[in-house]
Amino acid sequence: MKTRKTTAVVATAVVLMLGASACNGSKDDNGGGKGGNGGSGATDAALTSIVNPSDKAGGTVKIEMSDEPDSLDPGNTYYGWVQNISRLYGRTLTAFKPAAGKDGLEIVPDLAEGLGKPSADAKTWTYTLKKGLKFEDGTPITSKDVKYAVERSNFAPEALSNGPTYFKAHLAGGDKYKGPYKDKNPDGIASIETPDDSTIVFKLKDAFADFDYLATYSQTAPVPAAKDKGADYVKHIVSSGPYKFESYDAGRGATLVRNPNWDKKTDPIRPALPDKVTLRFKVKQETVDSNLIADNITVDGAGTGVAPATQPDVLTKPNLKKQTDNSYAGATSYLGLNVNVKPFDNVHCRKAVQWGIDKASVQAAQGGDPKGDVATTLLPPTVNGYTKFDLYESAGHKGDEAKAKDELKQCGHPNGFDTKISARSDRPAEMAMVTAVQASLKKIGINADIKSFPAGKYFQNFAGNPSYVHSNKLGMIMMAWGADWPTGFGFLDQIINGSAIKPSGGNNIAELNDPKINKMLDEGIANTDAAAREKTWGEIDKAVAEGGTMVPLIYRKNLLLRPVSATNVTVTQAYLGMYDYVLMGSAK
């Protein structure tokens, strides 16, 4: 398949799969339907419909969360919740349609007039921008602003290290271009062409069948070069969306207000109903939950659900349970074993961990069934390309002590060994999981010393920083990962591809750089046959499992709680099963 129909077929397959998965929750007898015309507010109503629909403008959407963002800069972020929120102030070439249920996985034009026009070999993609687009200061948005946004976000790790580097990996000449802060050539990278102010052309070194998905990424949100301050751009982000920053306080929060130069005529997908959106960071998770229950805030920005301590109360009180939505997150929690930290350079030491972990205890620790199912693969069942297998199968997912100890003998540590394991200190469920991992490994002689770090700096300074990992012998790293877009490549590439290893802010925490796996990824995304491409993702997943570098733990689910005053509430699978923040409003 060599036209943009390729993307549409992939999306359709994913939609059907996700639609089936969403049905695992309680049925909403009064809601449902395409686009969500209603929604009773019953348990799981927001999985397939819009709860408390409203077209009333005004009010304030209040967002709180327990940690802080890696960055609110659309070009310097990798957290799914920031991608979700950034759509309020950053428009992209294409976008996932803000809609209920399966309709929320449809890719639609945003800044562009239509979806990308690929060449026959899918190596060249062309987009034409809409007329009348403006930044918050009234200056026109041009194709050069989109090009510059891609250049700064993908080619300047010295200033912007948090986001993915798909463009760098796939653009022709991407391995040579040094980025706009070092390369002062005003024309920038040659493989992104802007023949006029409305046209942008991406020339790739290889075929990339998922490019319309990549164009939804916040890295295509335009940035005026004259206003860019590198890492400090986050202090004065120039809006292209319906809201702009009234204030920003690093590590504490921000306030968004209406952008007077946003034009609804060019942006039919964003309702932009609230007058204001407030963000508050570093609020204890239990406090966030209490504020949701008391209807003091609109949404938990992290989108990962209530804390384990809150969950029993929510599930046993009928009036609260009906305000919950137990969504699949399209994400997997797993344990990365860094191949450059001894003894995990030895495959048998890695396999000892695979056999030694009691996954059932990890599932119980993070909240039981409502928070996720035991995982045996990296790819979750809701992502295109998932193939069911279990190379380390044990009774009741409790591990196999005998096989674990046999692997320890083969790796030269018959009595076990000492290591360190990291987790995010401000994520209660992850801390509960890492404690369970520690306890089960101790039974086979592996003593894992827990090191906890704040989520906002977890990848930049610690777990995603190879220098820190090596010098501190951080051999085991807790991780949760959701697809950048809902295909196998969108899930796997940035966590297993050798090209994704970065000096800081990286997500290939195992530092896996297997030539065979790298080649499989490259050949898979270049294949314009959708069925063959889908099959490849499952094969790659199994190849990773055979090397033992990553231990799948939980296919994550979110036990979300919507307060009574929240309007237009619906779950989006495009953003890891959290609520769609573009649609949400408040009756207050």
Q: What is the largest CA-CA distance in the chain?
A: 69
* Residue 493, φ and ψ in degrees, nearest 5: -55, -50
The first and second tokens of residue 211, run together, are 């490019």
- The pLDDT mean for the chain works out to 92
CA distance 436 to 361: 6
* Residues contacting 215, CB < 8 A, separation 6+: 92, 93, 94, 112, 116, 125, 127
Smallest Cα–Cα separation from 156: which of 78, 238, 230, 71?
Answer: 230
Q: What is the structure's pLDDT at 386?
A: 95
Tens digits of residue pLDDT in 133-179 = 999 999 999 999 999 999 999 999 999 999 999 999 999 999 999 99
pLDDT given for residue 14 in this prediction: 32
Burial 56-86 (b: 16+ CB within 10 A, else e): eeebbbbbbbbbbbbbbbbbbbbbbbbbbbb
pLDDT tens digits along 186-205 = 999 999 999 999 999 999 99
DSSP 423-481: EETT-HHHHHHHHHHHHHHHTTTEEEEEEEE-GGGIIIIITT-HHHHHHTT--EEEEEE
By the 10 Å C-beta count (0-12 exposed, 13-18 middle, 19+ buried), 357 is classed as buried
Question: Does position 17 have pLDDT exceeding 80, yes or no?
Answer: no
**Of 211, 231, 204, the residue nearest 72 (C-alpha):** 231
Contact 143, 192 (CB under 8 A): no
Q: Are 353 and 443 in contact (CB under 8 A)?
A: no
> Taking the CB of residue 471, how many other CB atoms lie within 10 A of it?
10
Which amino acid is present at 330? G
- The answer to whether 193 touches 200, Cβ cutoff 8 Å, is yes
Structure tokens at 446: 């592996």
Q: What H or E segment, with its residue span, contains residue 533?
A: helix 530-547
* 214 membership: H or E segment, kind and range: helix 211-214
Of the candidates 556, 564, 33, 567, the residue with the CA atom closest to the CA atom of residue 323: 564
Average pLDDT value for residue range 252-267 = 98
* Position 420 pLDDT exceeds 90: yes
- Is 70 exceeded by the pLDDT of residue 326? yes
Please state the rounded mean pLDDT for residues 512-523.
Answer: 96
So what's the pLDDT on residue 198? 98
**Cβ proximity of 159 and 73 under 8 Å:** no
pLDDT per position as a tens digit, 328-371: 999 999 999 999 999 999 999 999 999 999 999 999 999 899 98
Using 50, 70 and 90 to split pLDDT, how confident is the model at 40? low
Report whether pLDDT(29) > 90: no
Instruction: Taking residues 566-588, report their average pLDDT.
Output: 96
pLDDT for residue 367: 87
Dihedrals phi, psi of 12, to nearest 5 degrees: -65, -40
Sole residue written with tokens 């300047």? 156
* Alpha carbon distance 388, 330 (integer Å): 15
pLDDT at 256: 98
Q: Please tell me the total number of residues recorded for the chain in this structure.
A: 588
pLDDT of 10? 32
Percent of residues, the chain, with pLDDT higher than 90: 87
pLDDT at 312 over 50: yes
CB 362 within 8 A of CB 368: no
Q: CA neighbours within 13 Å on the CB side: how many for 399?
A: 28
- Listed residue (527, 538, 383) closest to 1, CA to CA: 527
Rg (C-alpha) for the chain, rounded Å, is: 23
**Given this model, what pLDDT does residue 530 score?**
84
Residue 11 confidence (pLDDT): 35
Phi then psi dihedrals of residue 147, to 5 deg: -60, -45
Rounded distance between C-alpha atoms, residue 374 and residue 363, angstroms: 6
94-115 core/surface letters (b: 16 or more CB in 10 A; e: else): bbbbbbbbbbbbebbbbbbeeb
Question: How far is Cα 527 from Cα 534, in angstroms, rounded to an integer?
Answer: 10
As given in the structure block, the two tokens for residue 309 are 């301590």
**How far is it, in rounded angstroms, from Cα 529 to Cα 524?**
9
Please list, in sequence order, all residues whose beta carbon lies within 8 angstroms of the beta carbon of residue 380, skipping any fewer than 6 positions away: 328, 329, 330, 331, 332, 386, 491, 555, 556
Tokens of 75: 């070009």
What's the pLDDT at 456?
A: 86
Supply φ then ψ for residue 167, to 5 degrees.
-60, -45
Q: What is the tens place of the pLDDT at every residue in 71-122?
A: 999 999 999 999 999 999 999 999 999 999 989 989 999 999 999 999 999 9
One-letter amino acid at 136 equals E
SS3 state at 546: helix
What Cα–Cα distance (Å) separates residue 156 from each residue in 162, 203, 578?
10, 20, 30
CA distance 159 to 162: 9
* Other beta carbons within 10 Å of 252: 11
Residue 206 has pLDDT above 80, yes or no: yes
| Residue 30 clears pLDDT 50, i.e. is over it | no
The pair of structure tokens assigned to 529 is 């046959």
DSSP code for 250: T
Give one DSSP letter per residue of 342-380, joined into a string: TTTTSHHHHHHHHHH--HHHHHHHTTSGGGEEEPSSSS-
Residue 201: its H or E element: strand 199-203
Give the DSSP H or E segment for 128. strand 124-128
User: What domains appear along the chain, each with residue ranges and CATH number?
Assistant: 5-282+562-586 (3.40.190.10), 327-558 (3.10.105.10)
* pLDDT tens digits, one per residue of 461-507: 999 999 999 999 999 999 999 988 888 999 999 999 998 999 999 99
**CA 89 remoteness from chain centre:** 18
What is the structure's pLDDT at 8? 32
How far is Cα 359 from Cα 395, in angstroms, rounded to an integer? 11
The two beta strands, 476-482 and 253-258, are unpaired
CA gap 194, 283 in Å, rounded: 44
| Residue 42 pLDDT greater than 90, yes or no | yes
AA identity, residue 359: K
